[in-house]
Copies of this chain bind each other. A is one copy, B any other.
Amino acid sequence: MKTKKLINDPKVIIEEMLEGIVAAHPKHVRQVEGAPRAVVALNGPRKGKVGLVIGGGSGHEPTFVGFVGKGLADACPIGNVFASPPPDPIYECAKAASGGAGVLFMYGNYAGDVMNFDMAAEMAGMDEIEVRTVLTTDDIASAPLDQKEKRRGVAGNFFIFKIAGAACDTMKPLDECERLARKANAHTYTMGVCLSPCSLPQTQKYSFELGPDEMEIGMGIHGEPGVAKGPIQTADAVTDAIMDKILGEMKPNKGDKVAVLVNSLGATPLMELYLLNRRVKQRLDQVGVSIHQTWVGNYCTSLEMAGASITLLHLDDELTGLLDHPCDCAMFRAG
């Protein structure tokens, strides 16, 4: 049985999606002439500003391309579904984002992305564009704490990119932008669960199997298996399991502040997300942690996967200021 999708020829799905994106957001983004897979902010890049290039595979919309715009990312190379973009569009993005003050590459920590972005960084280096790379590794379910550098980047990207984008937009030098991006990543904790699988436009088959009463805990955002399969639990139990793990690592003090992201992996509706958020708030109240701001919705998806993730950003004054910095992107606005 084929999964149901509103698509045309899957061979050109990314090109068609980009056409639709530019048609919808012509005041925010454009495609680089001759390099349609490189999407650039109309009001982003400028002289003396560190350029921020974020990117990765398609299928996670609004991540990554939706976060291109003034105050957040300057450019975004577009990969195939769940596949890192190749070096060429990344390199085009580096050039488009460069304002002479260096360029920051930020993306989730996946083998394919690392190889392609590194090749592009080498190409940019030959043009005398100084590139620094910060990998996002917020998925605390994807490797133990002592192997933090092996973790995947997932929905927490949203906070980490937002902070880095604000650092760049406020004209901080490259060293400082890199430091803040790394700090944001170190302060961001995500974990998710999956209830039912997604399918690729090219296969129209479910990417993996889950039993009728099963959920997958610690699911990756590409359908990679998580930590374990188990029976479906209540919203509260799921939230508790995630919050236990996050708070256990974050170790907040009473009076600390966080930002919260309750994210749908695609098919899980807002009603369920708000149930999770209710319990997140209760748990934070219990430990005396206050919430600076909360986002709830589809921020980092896996096509039509059902499930959700919870992200906490452990704030201090520096990060709070940057989080509050306004941005105006194709699919997201703040401040």
Contacts and interface: CB of A to CB of B under 8 A. Distances in A.
Contact of A212 (B2, B6, B266, B306): B2
A61 B21 contact: no
A215 B5 CA distance: 10
Closest 8 CB pairs of A and B: A20-B274, A20-B278, A267-B267, A61-B270, A23-B281, A24-B294, A20-B277, A4-B195
Interface string A272-297: 11111111110000000001001111
Q: What number of copies of this chain does the assembly contain?
A: 2
B272 A5 contact: yes
A298 B298 contact: yes
A311 to B, nearest CB: 13
Nearest to A264: B298
A301 B81 CA distance: 25
Given A17-B274, A21-B274, A269-B301, 14 more contacts: A4-B306, A8-B236, A8-B275, A13-B275, A19-B281, A20-B296, A23-B277, A23-B278, A66-B270, A266-B269, A267-B306, A269-B303, A270-B331, A304-B306
Residue from A1, A58, A234 whose CB has the most chain B CB atoms within 10 Å: A234
Interface residues of A, number: 67
A42 interface: no
Given A1-B212, A277-B24, A272 B234 contact: no
Given A4-B215, A6-B275, A7-B234, A267 B270 contact: no
Nearest to A195: B4
A56 interface: no
Nearest to A262: B24
Interface of A: 1-2, 4-8, 13, 16-21, 23-25, 58-59, 61-62, 66, 81, 193, 195-196, 201, 212-213, 215, 232, 234-236, 238, 260, 262, 266-281, 291, 294-298, 301, 303-304, 306-308, 331, 333
B268 A6 contact: yes
Nearest to A214: B4
A16 B278 contact: yes
Nearest to A307: B6
Given A268-B304, A297-B298, A234 B24 contact: no
Given A8-B234, A270-B62, A275 B195 contact: no
A301 B270 CA distance: 9
